[in-house]
Amino acid sequence: AQSVTQLDSQVPVFEEAPVELRCNYSSSVSVYLFWYVQYPNQGLQLLLKYLSGSTLVKGINGFEAEFNKSQTSFHLRKPSVHISDTAEYFCAVCHTNAGKSTFGDGTTLTVKP
């Protein structure tokens, strides 16, 4: 079985400040890792994914995440946020041999001017 814990339900930050959204996972087998963003009244959009190889993954909109196997973490970072980054962010894991993904409960990022 897999589980995902997003450690912060809400993260308020000021515009142009750096941000980190934390994600820890639990799995007894190899997994793929994903971050999705959900803007109000829109569907989930893939930000970035870790499949294998380099542990630092770069995604869209200036986001990046680092896979840490020993700490079973996949934290999302952005060095300077914009108002338009305000959204719900979901971390997800997927067993490498299965179709379904397991999602965390989300982190609401609010960027203030």
Partner 1 sequence: GAGVSQTPSNKVTEKGKYVELRCDPISGHTALYWYRQSLGQGPEFLIYFQGTGAADDSGLPNDRFFAVRPEGSVSTLKIQRTERGDSAVYLCASSPPGVSYNEQFFGPGTRLTVL
**Which residues in this chain contact partner 1 in the complex, by CB under 8 A?**
4, 6, 32, 34, 36, 41-46, 49, 51, 90, 92, 94, 96, 98-106
Phi and psi of 14, rounded to 5°? -90, 155
Judged by beta carbon, residue 17 or residue 29, the one nearer partner 1 is 29
Q: How far is the CB of 43 from partner 1 (least distance, A)?
A: 4
Residue 30 and residue 15: Cα distance in Å, rounded?
A: 37
To the nearest 10°, the Cα dihedral for 21, 31, 97, 9? -30
Q: How far is the CB of 84 from partner 1 (least distance, A)?
A: 19
